[in-house]
């Protein structure tokens, strides 16, 4: 149940961040060109889009960090599996579990490093140049995203041990 | 020495089958922990790189190009492009096969990914070709190979990745991809025509000018996107990232309101699929930025460049070495990872030997196309085998003759730099 809420939350988050970032960049382009139109001045002249690029980058980074976790669940992170595929099933099982564990280990280390970094930035009181957002909130994407990714690797590992299936992504499975 | 250790760790990890991105990241961690003294400073830098690595507006064109491709694929652009291409070349020998190649070239001009091109065109063209009596083997070979045009004809995600990792101008790279893309498309068309004549493949009735025009008007909604992106970047109307955002919004508009094949309720699914794909690419990019940071602090690209220069390699020998190395790398890994790992290593050598970085980028991209149709890890082959419900070995055999065609074009583009450099030099050399 909790897992299902987490799944939907993750999906909603990355889809809307991607959409929002795209719109922000699009609107800033539109705004820049509308400034050349004199009769629009009363409407557009007052709005400033200097923050747009920064906001878009932050949205994309958040999308990327959480999307990477979603990707573990959908099996989109591919590796070089030509050798492993030729092994006898027992050894193959070992390597698949090893890879998943390695993924969990790496993302855990990154989450820990990221958390340390967030705490460090928090103490420095740094804010972003245009939006003046506290930087530690922005950087929170690293520990949160990587932490979630670690959880996903463990989840896939547990499921693989239980059922012997791991998710695999197919091109063209899109609607 | 450290170069040897780093690559030994990387290869050992890669061949366990773990995700390439994880292998890259773990290599950095392992090297820092085992070999170099793990100072607090390096840890701080590493954790900062995890974020700031992506803090780059150019990189953000990747998710946007993925998104715009996703909207076009879901929105029925492929079907209209195919209809237009069929009215153009359908009457020739092997008409439908010729149309398949041409459709891939057109679709490549609005999409930046090869597998996406294979799926978009192949899912419609493959059943149609088989129904017309083409062998499955021939159809799959044509489609898997022509789909490779997706990363050569701009916009191209692989060229963006190359631009990011070498700080080369994306606009210049895109423009440089145009002529080689056309050369490759013509080569594929010519070979298809030759085979079709020899085996007397069926032709389609000639379309009237009116039909061509109507098909063109329908397809133009999608095709105009390529013109907007390339024209807009070159004309200085917008940056590559802005161009990608404009094309994503435009593609959404065309798919939902003009072609009306994508109902609004399915939009979140398209967004999610695009986010999934691009987050995967961005994750590889983050970790390879970490990896190349390690290489640079250990001074490896410079050492390697020096070593190769000391061997007295001439430019053509170096390029041949690049071709061969990439051919084998391309057999095991997908394009973006290879470019991210190898481009920073090749670039210093190329620059010393007087090879234009833009030319190197195009060479690497065509080499990647070759990798995508060469087993065991040919991404296009995987996709095509999924579409055709054929085993991978069969599909591999189907693509084999085409590997030769792509190799010939690769060698041509490698040793005749003018094919890649003529157009960008012409356009970007303002007095």
Q: Is B353 exposed, middle or buried (0-12, 13-18, 19+ CB in 10 A)?
A: middle
- Assess whether pLDDT exceeds 60 at residue B310: yes
- Report CB contact under 8 Å: A15, B275: yes
For range B334-359, the mean pLDDT: 92
Q: Which chain A positions have a beta carbon within 8 Å of B266's beta carbon?
A: 175
Distance from A5 to chain B by nearest Cα, in Å?
Answer: 16
- Report CB contact under 8 Å: B29, A96: no
What percent of chain B has pLDDT above 90?
Answer: 64
Model confidence over B114-172: pLDDT tens digits? Answer: 988 999 999 999 999 999 889 888 999 999 999 999 999 999 999 999 999 999 999 99
Q: Which chain A positions have a beta carbon within 8 Å of B280's beta carbon?
A: 67-68, 71, 76-77
For range B385-399, the mean pLDDT: 81
Query: B20-34 and B2-14 helices cross at what angle (nearest 10)?
Result: 140
- Assess whether pLDDT exceeds 70 at residue A174: no
- Report CB contact under 8 Å: B22, A77: yes
Average per-residue pLDDT for chain B: 90
Residue B392: per-residue pLDDT: 75
Residue B157: per-residue pLDDT: 93
User: CA angle B181-B128-B96, nearest 5°?
Assistant: 45
Name the CA radius of gyration of chain A, rounded: 21
Average per-residue pLDDT for chain A: 89
Q: Which residue of B has its CA nearest to A128?
A: B55
- Assess whether pLDDT exceeds 60 at residue A173: no
Distance from B352 to chain A by nearest Cα, in Å?
Answer: 32
Residue B104: per-residue pLDDT: 96
Residue A175: per-residue pLDDT: 30
For range B88-110, the mean pLDDT: 93
- Assess whether pLDDT exceeds 50 at residue A121: yes
Q: Which chain A positions have a beta carbon within 8 Å of B60's beta carbon?
A: 21, 25, 56-57, 60
For range A22-28, the mean pLDDT: 95
Distance from B270 to chain A by nearest Cα, in Å?
Answer: 7
Q: Characterise B167 by phi-psi region: left (phi > 0), alpha (psi -120 to 50), beta (else).
A: left
Residue B332: per-residue pLDDT: 79
Residue B38: per-residue pLDDT: 60
Half-sphere CA count of B295, side-chain side, radius 13 A: 25
Distance CA B186, CA B184 (A): 5
Q: Which residue has the higher pLDDT, B108 or A36?
A: B108
Distance CA B18, CA B40 (A): 28
Of A76, A85, A95, the CB nearest to B277: A76
Model confidence over A48-103: pLDDT tens digits? Answer: 778 888 999 999 999 999 999 999 999 988 888 778 888 999 999 999 999 999 99
Residue B328: per-residue pLDDT: 87
Residue of A71, A120, A141 to mutate for B, most B C-beta atoms under 10 A:
A71
Report CA dihedral (A67, A72, A78, A82) to the nearest 10 degrees.
180
Residue A169: per-residue pLDDT: 77
Model confidence over B12-63: pLDDT tens digits? Answer: 999 898 999 999 999 998 988 887 666 667 777 777 787 777 888 899 999 9
Q: Which chain B positions have a beta carbon within 8 Å of A175's beta carbon?
A: 74, 262, 266, 269-270, 273
φ, ψ of residue B332 to 5 degrees: the values are -120, -25
Q: Which residue has the higher pLDDT, B132 or A151?
A: A151
Model confidence over B242-291: pLDDT tens digits? Answer: 999 999 999 999 999 999 999 999 999 999 999 999 999 999 999 988 89
Q: Which chain A positions have a beta carbon within 8 Å of B64's beta carbon?
A: 22, 25
- Is residue B195 within a helix (H) or strand (E), and if so which, with residue range? helix B170-199
**Residue linked to tokens 């003018």:** B418
Tell me the pLDDT band of B431, cut-offs 50, 70 and 90.
very low
Q: Which residue of A has its CA nearest to B283?
A: A68
Distance CA B72, CA A65 (A): 25
What is the distance of C-alpha B151 from the center of its chain? Answer: 2
- Assess whether pLDDT exceeds 80 at residue B175: yes
- Report CB contact under 8 Å: B51, A142: yes
């Amino acid at each position: 149940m909790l897992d299902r809420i987490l799944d939907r939350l993750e999906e909603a988050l990355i889809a809307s961040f991607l959409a929002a970032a795209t719109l922000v960049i699009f609107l800033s382009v539109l705004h820049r060109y509308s400034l050349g139109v004199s009769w629009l001045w009363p409407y557009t002249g007052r709005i400033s889009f200097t923050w747009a690029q920064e906001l878009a980058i932050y949205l994309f980074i958040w999308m990327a960090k959480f999307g990477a976790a979603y990707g573990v669940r959908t099996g989109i992170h591919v590796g070089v599996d030509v050798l492993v595929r030729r092994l006898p099933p027992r050894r193959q099982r070992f390597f698949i579990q090893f890879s998943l564990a390695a993924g969990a280990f790496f993302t855990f280390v990154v989450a820990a490093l990221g958390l340390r970094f967030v705490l460090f930035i928090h103490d420095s009181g740094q804010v972003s140049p245009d939006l003046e957002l506290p930087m530690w909130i922005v950087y929170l994407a690293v520990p949160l995203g990587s932490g979630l990714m670690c959880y996903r690797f463990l989840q896939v590992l547990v499921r693989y041990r239980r059922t012997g299936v791991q998710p695999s992504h197919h091109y063209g499975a899109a609607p | 020495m450290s170069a040897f250790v780093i690559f030994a760790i990387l290869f050992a990890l890669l061949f366990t089958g773990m995700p390439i991105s994880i292998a890259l990241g773990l290599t950095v961690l392992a090297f820092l922990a085992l070999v170099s003294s793990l100072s607090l400073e390096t840890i701080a830098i590493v954790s900062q790189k995890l974020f700031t690595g992506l803090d780059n507006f150019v990189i953000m064109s990747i998710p946007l190009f993925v998104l715009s491709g996703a909207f076009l694929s879901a929105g029925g652009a492929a079907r209209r492009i195919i209809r237009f291409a069929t009215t153009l070349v359908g009457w020739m020998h092997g008409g439908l096969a010729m149309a398949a190649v041409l459709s891939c070239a057109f679709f490549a001009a609005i999409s930046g990914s090869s597998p996406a091109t294979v799926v978009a065109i192949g899912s419609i063209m493959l059943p149609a070709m088989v129904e017309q009596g083409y062998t499955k083997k021939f159809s799959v070979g044509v489609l898997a190979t022509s789909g490779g045009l997706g990363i050569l004809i701009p916009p191209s995600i692989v060229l963006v990745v190359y631009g990011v990792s070498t700080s080369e101008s994306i606009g210049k790279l895109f423009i440089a991809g145009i002529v080689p893309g056309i050369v490759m498309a013509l080569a594929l068309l010519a070979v298809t025509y030759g085979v079709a004549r020899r085996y007397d493949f069926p032709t389609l009735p000639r379309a009237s000018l009116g039909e061509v025009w109507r098909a063109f008007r329908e397809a133009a909604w999608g095709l105009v996107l390529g013109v907007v992106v390339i024209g807009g970047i070159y004309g200085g109307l917008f940056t590559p990232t802005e161009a990608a955002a404009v094309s994503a919004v435009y593609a959404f508009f065309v798919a939902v309101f003009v072609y009306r094949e994508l109902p609004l309720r399915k939009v979140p699914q398209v967004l999610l699929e695009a986010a999934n794909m691009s987050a995967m690419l961005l994750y590889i990019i983050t970790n390879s930025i970490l990896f190349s940071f390690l290489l640079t602090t250990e001074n490896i690209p410079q050492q390697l460049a020096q070593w190769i220069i000391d061997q007295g390699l001439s430019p053509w020998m170096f390029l041949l070495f690049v071709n061969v190395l990439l051919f084998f790398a391309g057999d095991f890994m997908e394009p973006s990872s290879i470019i991210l790992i190898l481009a920073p290593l090749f670039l210093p050598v190329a620059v010393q030997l007087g090879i234009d970085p833009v030319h190197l980028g195009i060479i690497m991209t065509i080499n990647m196309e070759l990798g995508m149709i060469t087993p065991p890890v040919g991404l296009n082959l995987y996709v095509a085998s999924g579409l055709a419900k054929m085993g991978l070995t069969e599909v591999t055999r189907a693509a084999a003759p085409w590997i030769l065609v792509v190799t010939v074009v690769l060698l041509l583009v490698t040793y005749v730099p003018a094919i890649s450099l003529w157009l960008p030099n012409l356009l970007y050399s303002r007095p």
